């Protein structure tokens, strides 16, 4: 099992789960738009670990940056420089779902 570490804590990752999906599932504040690696809106600093891109992203990345919208964990531990969205309560985390286009339902 792979684990995602952020400033908010430690979270298990589902098999083949994109990091953006894991961050949203666990209530993190992440900007995103395309969900395909084109726009770079979700650009996040990778502090530890490695990631895998099933398809090479088109957005420019600086050293130490990843696009969580289109990558998966490639190491047992992935640590990101990311904060939890404190506007969501604990109960909200289990109720929040996203449609296939990434918009909250």
Averaged pLDDT, 40-48? 97
Q: Band of the pLDDT at 99, cuts 50, 70, 90?
A: very low
Residue 33: pLDDT over 90 = yes
Tokens of 77: 């531990």
Is residue 54's pLDDT more than 80? Answer: yes
Q: Residue 3: pLDDT above 90?
A: yes
pTM of the model: 0.78
Options 3.90.420.10, 3.30.300.30, 2.40.10.120, 3.10.20.30; CATH of 2-83: 3.10.20.30
**Are 52 and 71 in contact, with CB atoms under 8 Å apart?**
yes
Q: H/E/C letters for each residue in 45-98?
A: EEEECCEECCCCCCCCCCCCEECHHHCEECCCEEEECCCECCCCCHHHHHHCCE
Whether residue 79 has pLDDT greater than 60: yes
Q: Are 73 and 2 in contact (CB under 8 A)?
A: yes
Contact 4, 78 (CB under 8 A): yes
């Amino acid at each position: 099992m792979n684990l995602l570490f952020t400033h908010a804590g430690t979270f298990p990752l589902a098999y083949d789960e994109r990091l953006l999906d894991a961050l949203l599932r666990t209530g993190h504040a992440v900007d995103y738009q395309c969900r395909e690696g084109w726009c770079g809106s979700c650009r996040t600093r990778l502090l530890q670990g490695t990631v895998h891109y099933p398809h090479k992203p088109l957005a420019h990345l600086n050293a130490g940056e990843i696009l969580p919208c289109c990558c998966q964990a490639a190491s047992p531990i992935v640590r990101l420089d990311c904060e939890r969205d404190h506007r969501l309560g604990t109960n909200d985390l289990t109720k929040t779902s996203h449609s296939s286009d990434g918009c909250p339902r």
